[in-house]
Amino acid sequence: MDTLFGMSHSATLLFWTFVAIAFLIVMISKFKWNPFVTLLISSIGLGLATGMKPADTVTSLTKGLGGTLGTIAIVIGLGTMLGKMMAESGGAEKIATTMIDRFGEKRVHWAMMLVGFLVGIPVFFEVGVILLIPIVFIVARKTKMPLLQIGIPVLAGLSTVHGLVPPHPAPMIAIDAYHANLGRTIMYSILVGLPVAIVAGPLFGKFIGKRIAVTPDEKLVEQFALKENRNLPGFGITLFTILLPVILMLTGSIASISDPEATRGITQFCEFIGHEVVALLISVVFAFFSLGFARGFTKEEVSAFASESLAPIAGIVLIIGGGGAFKQVLIDSGVGQAIADMATNAHINVILFAWLVAALIRVATGSATVAMTTSAGIVAPVLAMTPGANVELAVLATGAGSLVLSHVNDAGFWMVKEFFNMTVPQTLKSWTVMETILSVMGLILILLLNAVV
């Protein structure tokens, strides 16, 4: 490839990467183009501009898209089915009401953070908000607490799990790209996730709830208030169903640590059921019974729930695939290596680098998913050239960066604004600040953890 304006080969690669990412950001943010289409155009443009043959560019694109979705598409589909069963059975409602009763009304905002954290494990952030917003309104009315004092902890729990805790798609993308250990990532994510959710949730929620008084839309409250009473599933079986995939994954990781060579049959079995795909498949089938047939749903209804849950996630799956395509072109064109060389020569902290790249893309595009998938391709080569780097913590740093500074170009921003009936300035002062606390405090804890493990 000829160099541009006399620049070195590496500098030329970085220039075209900057152009491709700028194009991606502008088309998504300003012109509201579909992220999937924009990612594909950016991928092809970057490949051709950096000197790849047209056929090689297309091969790289399809390889990246297929490779990324090979596992992630299954994880998303099964996780969504699990969330759907929880919604239809009333499991989310049961977890919320039980924990509120256990914590008491004065500490209900702590319970709501844990509810968001637990309910968020098998579902997307947007699905979790829709599941739990009726409970937020009911609890706020019952306890007479400020709405944001109840709502912010729920949002903090959901958002923390969304960005940091496997088997959510965002951290799973980075786990796959960085070749991280799933079990260790889960353990680290809990160590980091719970403290940041506490600070950004109950503590910040109590602070901001007293300063921003908001009242939900009366029609929305009435709709939830008139919801028919139903016989809810037991708390224990619901909690076990939600946590089953995490339990199975941790079992597989513990078996791998105790028997690294997998010489024993029990280790091989545990590793098999602990694989994210198998763990989620077992959990979904279990949910069909524990939250489906056991609740009186017919086989036709359970089948319909599973089918209905897949349609809304099509766009998310394609965006993740498009991000994987862009990531692969970054690698195959030599851009990833050029960035790795630059970061290595600059002796930059790879954890901080992972957070910064994801944060910049998140702020520019508004999408945590685009931030995660795009930054994974940029960070992975740097990790590969950094001996001794803790790749599991790099996964968490990328996830934390993808949460920072949600604002008007983020769909989640508008979702929160409308549900809580806030103005744009109120949403910036509450939701945006909460997301930034999650991200920055998460980075600080990850760096501290990196110093001791």
pLDDT digits (tens, 9 = 90+) for 240-271: 887 788 788 778 877 877 777 777 888 889 88
Largest alpha-carbon pair distance within the chain? 72
Q: What is the mean pLDDT of residues 162-176?
A: 80
In a domain, 4, yes or no: no
Residue 1 maps to a domain: no
Domain that residue 310 falls in: 9-452
pLDDT at 226: 42
In the prediction, which pLDDT does 217 show?
67
- In a domain? residue 72: yes
DSSP single-letter state for residue 420: T
Is 154 contained in some domain? yes
Residue that the structure tokens 């239809």 belong to: 88
Candidate ranges 115-129, 325-339, 348-362; pick with highest mean pLDDT: 348-362
Tokens of 417: 């604004």
Contact 156/116 with Cβ under 8 angstroms? Answer: yes
* 345 belongs to a structural domain: yes
User: In total, how many domains does the chain have?
Assistant: 1
- The answer to the question of residue 172 being in a domain is yes
In a domain, 256, yes or no: yes
Residue 2 confidence (pLDDT) above 60: no
State the pLDDT at residue 62: 92
Asked, for residue 2, whether it belongs to a domain, the answer is no
Q: How confident is the model at residue 282 (pLDDT cuts 50, 70, 90)?
A: very high
Q: What is the pLDDT of residue 6?
A: 54
The answer to pTM > 0.85 is no
Give the least confident one: 15-19, 367-371, 372-376: 367-371
Residue 219: the pLDDT is 62
- Average pLDDT for 307-330: 79
Residue 238: pLDDT band (50, 70, 90) is confident
- Asked if 216 contacts 417 with a C-beta cutoff of 8 angstroms, the reply is no
The pLDDT-based confidence of 448 (bands split at 50, 70, 90) is very high
What does the pLDDT read at residue 255? 82
DSSP 264: S
Separation CA 298–CA 197 (nearest Å): 38
